[in-house]
Structure 1
Amino acid sequence: MSATQNLASALARHHEVEIVALRKVRDESYFPLDERVRVRALTDLRENSHRYDGEDPLAHEFPLRYPYGANEKTPVVSRLAERRLLEFFAETDADAIVSSNPRITTMLAEAPGTFLRIAQEHSMPRIYAENVRKPLFEAYRKLDAITVLSPEEHASLSKLVPYVRDRINVMPNCIPDPGGPRSDGSSKVVVTAGVLKKHKNFHGLVDAFETVVRRHPDWKLRIYGDGADRGALQRRIHDKDLYNHVQLMGPAFPVTAEFGKGAIFVLPSLREPFGNVTVEAMTRGLPVVSMDCDHGPRNILTPGTDGILVPNGDNAAMAEAIVELIEDDERRLAMGEAAARTAERFSEEPSAERFGAILEHAALRRRLPGTADAEVLDGGDVRITLRGVAADQVTGDLELVCRDVRGRREPVRLPVVAGAALIGHRDVLGEGHWEIGVASPKGPEKRLDAEHLDVTRMVSRRPAPSGSGLEVLLPHKDDRGRLLVRSQVRALHGEVLVVRVDGEAVVVEGELWGAEAPDGAAAPVVEGVNRADAERTLTVPLTVTEGTRFRFELPLSTLVDAHHEDEEIWDLRIRLDEERTAGLGMFATDILEPYKVFKYPRPVRPGRRTRASAPAPRRPLLGALRKRTEPAEPPRTEIRPYFTVTAQFAVKTVTV
C-alpha cells in the first residue's frame, strides 16, 4: 500500500488525485499521504465510527463479481463494498482510474464510462491463485495500460498474456526520501528488513553472518520485521550462538529511521517483485548487498557502484560481499554516497513524470484505430485497410507494425498511406505468424482486430509455382479476433495438391517451387525420414513432368516392411540431388490448417510383430502339463497419411 500512497502523493503535485478504498478499519494510515490527496472509503468497519456499516446485512455477504478464494469463510470484501464500488464507477467524472488490486482490476475492466483504465501490478501475476489469475488475464484485454515493476516482469507477463503486450509498461515503485539522519558509515551494524517468510531467506542471512562474526566479531546484524518464521529464526540464531550478534528488532514504522543507524544494508531475498526496502535503505546512504533474484534488485543497483549483487541463493557469496565492504572503509562510504544518488531515480518527481507519460501514452493509444480489413491481392501481396482512422491520422505518420509472435525476428514497420498499408509477399516478412498492429509517431501501439478478410484470390487465382521459391502470405484471425498474417518462406518446396489412397499405395501429386527437376544422371526421389530415428529412411521414385509437376507412389507394403515399433511417423521430403531437398506441405492455399480439413482413408494391411508387441518368450515348466494354446492373431499395420499442425505432409504407421 505504501507504493500506492507514495505515487498518489507524487501525482497530486500535477493532478487531482483521490484514493478510493473498499474498506476502512483503522483511524490512521500506516503511511504518510500528501494533504492534497483526497481519500474515500466505500465501507466503514470501525465500530467507533458514526458511519459504521457493520449492521448492514450486505456487509457480511460474499460479493457476486469480485473474485474470492474457495477457502474464504468470511468475505474480506463484502457485497456492500462491491455494490458501492460499482456505483462509484458509474458516477465518477475521473479521467483515469488506476487499480492497484488484481481483483478490483477485473471489475474495472467491465465498468461503464470513458475514463482510462489502468492496472498496477505490484507483484508477479504468474503466482496469483487460479481464481484470480484467470479472470484477471481476461480483464487485461479491456484495459488501456498495465504497469509492472521491472523489465523481467514485462517479459514474463507479455509471454503469459501475449495479446496485451502492446500496453504493458515498466513503472518502478515510487520511493520518496523520507528525510531524517543519513548513515555516516561508521557504525558496525548491518541492517535488513522484511516480512519474516521463507522466500525472504533471513535464515540464509543468519548463516552468512556466522561467517562474518568469525572474522569481525565486533559487527552486529539487525533484522526488522515480523512474520510466521520469527520463532524458527530465533531458534536458528540461538543454535549458532549468535544471540549477541543478531537481533530480531520487530516491526518499525518508519523503518528508514532505523536504517540510518546502519553501515550496510543486505537484501537476502530469493524472490522480489521490486524491493522497496532496498531503495528506502539507499535513501539513508547505505551500500547494498543483495541476492540477484529474478526481479527488482538488478534494476535498482549498479553493481560495483552502489552495491554488490551475489548469485541468487548463494549465502556464502553474500557473507563474502558483506566482509568485503566491512574491510574496505573507503569503498563502503563511496558506495553509500552513490546509493543515495541512485535512490533519487525513484523519488516523487521522476515517478510522477514516468506515470504521467504512461497516462499520455494510454490516451494516444486509445485514439488509434483498432480494427482493419485484410485482402490478398493479385500476385500475393496483402493490403491492410484501417477502420476508424481519425482525419488527422490519415495524413499523419501512422505505421503498420508486424511482430513475429515467437519474437525470433525484429518487428517490420510499413508506412500507412491514406489509411492503408501494403505487405509485399516477397522479402518483407520472414517465416512465421505475424501479429498486425498500428503505431503512432509518438510511440503508442495497438494490435488490430480483423473486421473483414478477403482471401478469395488464393482460390480463384491460386499462386503459381515460382523458380525463386515459395513466399506466400495468408491473413487470418486468432480465436480472439486479432489480425495475423502467416508467412511461409521456402527456397525449395513441394506443394501437395492431391493425395489418393488406393489398395496398393499412397499416391501424391503436386508442384515444385524453387527449382525444376535436374537434367543430370541423378534421378529425384522422395524420402521418408523416421521422426524418432533420422538414420532410418525409406525411398521411392519421383516423377516430374512439365518441369514443376511431380507425382510419386508410396507403396503400402514399403511402409509395412519399414514399421518396427507400435507407432511411427515418417516425414516426407523430395531429394532432387545430393545437395537439394524440398519439404512437402500445403501452403499455397486459403486453408490455414489443412490437418483439420483433409482426412484420408486409413488402409490396414497384414504386418509383422513390432518390438513393442512381440510376446515375451515362455519359460518351460518342468513337470507341468503342457496346454495347447490358440495361435496368436497376426498383427496388422494401419497406414495414416496426414498433414501436421504445421501443414507438413507425413505418414503415420500404427500397429492395430
Structure 2
Amino acid sequence: MTETSPTSPTSGAAPASGTPGPGPRVLLIEGALRDNGGLRVSLDLARRWQAMGARVRFLVLENVEPDGPMLQPDPALDTRWGSAQVRRFRSAFPRIVATTVRHARRADVVVSGSEVGYGLLIGWAAAKIAGKPFVVLVQSSLPRAVAAWTPARLRPLLTSVHQRVDAAICVSPGLVDDVVEVGLPAERIHVADIGIDVAATRQAALDQGGPRRPTSGRTRFVAAGRLAQQKGFDVLLEAVARVVAAGDDVELEIVGAGELDADLKAQAELLGLGDRVEFPGHVGDLQARLAGADAFVLSSRYEGNGSLVLLEALAHGRPVIATDCPTGPRYVLRDGELGDLVPTEDVTALADALSAFVRDPEPLLRKASGAVNRAWDFDQDAAALEVATILAGLVRR
C-alpha cells in the first residue's frame, strides 16, 4: 500500500517529514482527523516532542468523509494513514491492523492519543505484537467517555486494555481515580497538566482583529464546544431563558458544531430566545470572540482537564462561570477563587450566577484578575516536556 499525506489522501505523494532527531521514535495513533479538543492536544504534543528531538510518526487509522470540521496536521509532522482510501471500517480493518503493526515495529514507544476508540485497541495490540511499550493519554472522564463513545460489546475489551497499558498519562489530577478504579496499578499512572500555548492564544485574538466587543449594549456571554450532550448547552439555554424572564438584558453566543445543532436551535426558539442566542458554528476567530466576551460560561456535564476553551478564556483574562463537573473546572479555578462554580444540571444555580454577574460584575471581575497567571500554569511547553520524559523513561526500561 502507498501511504499518503492527509491533505491529499489519494495523490500517492509521500508525507512531509521533519528532520529526524536523536530522541526516541514515537508512534502516535489517532482514529481519524475529526476536529476535537483531544486531537488538538495530541497534535500539539507531537509537534513539541519533535522540536525536542523525538522522531514522531503520526498514524491516522481512517480517512473518513468529512462530516464536520476536520484538522490537518502540521506539514512538518510525519503523517501516515492506516487506510488511505475512504471505505467502511470493517473492510479496511485488516489493512489498518497490518499497517499499525508495521509502524509499531519501527517505533520505540506507541502512544494512543485517546482513551477510547479503535486507535486504543489496535494500537495496544500492535504494540504487544511488536514488543514495544504502550501509553494512553487519558483526556476525559474514563467511565463517561467509554459509555458515550464505545459500543457495549467492546467495553469489556477496552477495560481490559486499560488494565494492561504500560503507562496512562492523565491530563488532570481528577482523572486518576477513574484509571485506578479500572484496575491499572498506581505506579503506571502519571499526571501532566495538559493545556494551551498561552502566548499564541493571546496573539491569536489580536491577529483576528482584536477582542470582539458586544455592540448591542447587552451583557454578552460566550460558550464554546462541540454541540453535544456532554457540553450541557441545553441547560445553559434554560438558564438564559430564566435570566431574560427575570428582566436582565443578556445575549448568548454558543460557538461550535455537532450533532445537537438543530435540537439546540429549536430549543432556543421554543424558549423565546431567537434574538438573544447566536449559533455561528465552527469559526476561525474564536479567540477574538472569547477575548471580547463579558464572561465565558462552561456548562459541561463532564470534562477532562476542565476544557481547553476554559483555559483560553482565562488566558484572555475573562470572567468565568463554570459547572463544578468532573473533572477539571474546580482544579483549574482553584476551588472557585478564580471564577464561579455551580452544580452540574442545575438550571436555577446557573441562572442565578448569570444574573448575579449582570447586576454586579465586580466580584467576578476581581476573581478574573488572576486568570492570566493561572493560564500560564497550564502552558503546553511544560506539559510536553513532562510527557516526553515519561515516554523516554519507558524506552530506557
Where on the TM-score scale, by shorter chain, does this alignment land: which range?
Answer: 0.7 to 0.9
TM-score, structure 1 normalization: 0.47
Match of 1:319 among 334, 343, 351: 351
State how 1:397-546 maps to structure 2 within 5 Å: none
The answer to whether the 8 Å contact 1:12/1:36 transfers is no
In structure 1, the residue matched to 2:142 is 125
SS state of the match for residue 12, structure 1?
A: helix
Q: Kindly name which structure, 1 or 2, has the bigger radius of gyration based on alpha carbons.
A: 1
The answer to whether the 8 Å contact 1:146/1:169 transfers is yes
State how 1:6-25 maps to structure 2 within 5 Å: 6-16=44-54, 17-25=56-64
Match of 1:181 among 199, 205, 210: 205
Identity of matched residues, %: 24
Alpha-carbon deviation of 1:160? 2.1
Root-mean-square deviation (CA, aligned residues, Å) is: 3.0
1:241 to 1:164, Cα distance in 2 relative to 1, 3 A: same
SS state of the match for residue 341, structure 2?
A: strand
In structure 1, the residue matched to 2:191 is 170
Match of 2:93 among 58, 73, 78: 78
Structure 1 Cα separation of the partners of residues 134 and 345 of structure 2: 38
SS state of the match for residue 260, structure 1?
A: helix
Alpha-carbon deviation of 1:203? 1.9
1:230 to 1:34, Cα distance in 2 relative to 1, 3 A: closer
User: How far does the alpha carbon of each residue in 1:19-45 deviate from its partner, in whole angstroms, 9 at most, with x for none?
Assistant: 121233589x94475554322223322
In structure 2, the residue matched to 1:268 is 299
Q: Which is richer in helix?
A: 2
Structure 1 Cα separation of the partners of residues 57 and 317 of structure 2: 33
Q: Amino acid of the residue matched to residue 100 of structure 1?
A: G
Alpha-carbon deviation of 1:185? 9.9
Structure 1: any 5+ residue segments left out of the alignment? 46-53, 63-74, 367-656
Q: Amino acid of the residue matched to residue 206 of structure 1?
A: L
Alpha-carbon deviation of 1:352? 1.3
Match of 1:196 among 206, 223, 227: 227
Alpha-carbon deviation of 1:61? 7.0
The answer to whether the 8 Å contact 2:304/2:328 transfers is yes
Q: Amino acid of the residue matched to residue 81 of structure 2?
A: A
State how 1:601-640 maps to structure 2 within 5 Å: none
State how 1:85-484 maps to structure 2 within 5 Å: 85-90=100-105, 92=106, 94-101=107-114, 102=116, 103-110=118-125, 111=127, 112-113=129-130, 115-126=132-143, 127=147, 128-161=150-183, 163-177=184-198, 178=201, 179-181=203-205, 187=214, 188-214=219-245, 217-253=248-284, 255-274=286-305, 275-363=307-395, 366=397
Structure 1 Cα separation of the partners of residues 285 and 52 of structure 2: 26
In structure 1, the residue matched to 2:24 is none
State how 1:12-91 maps to structure 2 within 5 Å: 12-16=50-54, 17-25=56-64, 30-31=70-71, 33-34=73-74, 36-45=76-85, 62=90, 78-90=93-105
Alpha-carbon deviation of 1:214? 4.3
1:230 to 1:12, Cα distance in 2 relative to 1, 3 A: same
1:119 to 1:155, Cα distance in 2 relative to 1, 3 A: same
Structure 1 Cα separation of the partners of residues 294 and 89 of structure 2: 51
Structure 2 Cα separation of the partners of residues 281 and 170 of structure 1: 23
1:303 to 1:60, Cα distance in 2 relative to 1, 3 A: closer
The answer to whether the 8 Å contact 1:12/1:34 transfers is no
TM-score, structure 2 normalization: 0.74
In structure 1, the residue matched to 2:18 is none
Structure 2 Cα separation of the partners of residues 202 and 13 of structure 1: 38
1:184 to 1:304, Cα distance in 2 relative to 1, 3 A: farther
Quick check: 95-104 or 203-212, which moved more? 95-104
1:185 to 1:341, Cα distance in 2 relative to 1, 3 A: farther
SS state of the match for residue 59, structure 2?
A: strand
Alpha-carbon deviation of 1:316? 1.4
Larger RCO of the pair (alpha carbons < 8 Å, separation 6+): 2
User: How far does the alpha carbon of each residue in 1:292-335 deviate from its partner, in whole angstroms, 9 at most, with x for none?
Assistant: 11212122222443211112222211122222333344444443
Structure 2 Cα separation of the partners of residues 219 and 181 of structure 1: 23
In structure 1, the residue matched to 2:7 is none
Q: Which is richer in strand?
A: 1
Aligned residues: 336
User: How far does the alpha carbon of each residue in 1:125-183 deviate from its partner, in whole angstroms, 9 at most, with x for none?
Assistant: 3234443332233334543211223333211221221x533202223433223322378
The answer to whether the 8 Å contact 1:213/1:245 transfers is no
Q: Amino acid of the residue matched to residue 271 of structure 1?
A: Y
1:147 to 1:254, Cα distance in 2 relative to 1, 3 A: farther
In structure 2, the residue matched to 1:569 is none
Quick check: 17-26 or 293-302, which moved more? 17-26
User: How far does the alpha carbon of each residue in 1:441-500 deviate from its partner, in whole angstroms, 9 at most, with x for none?
Assistant: xxxxxxxxxxxxxxxxxxxxxxxxxxxxxxxxxxxxxxxxxxxxxxxxxxxxxxxxxxxx
Structure 2: any 5+ residue segments left out of the alignment? 1-38
Q: Amino acid of the residue matched to residue 158 of structure 2?
A: L
The answer to whether the 8 Å contact 1:10/1:351 transfers is no
Alpha-carbon deviation of 1:279? 1.6
The answer to whether the 8 Å contact 1:196/1:227 transfers is yes
Structure 2 Cα separation of the partners of residues 358 and 323 of structure 1: 45
Alpha-carbon deviation of 1:217? 4.1
Q: Amino acid of the residue matched to residue 256 of structure 1?
A: Q
SS state of the match for residue 258, structure 1?
A: helix
SS state of the match for residue 62, structure 2?
A: coil
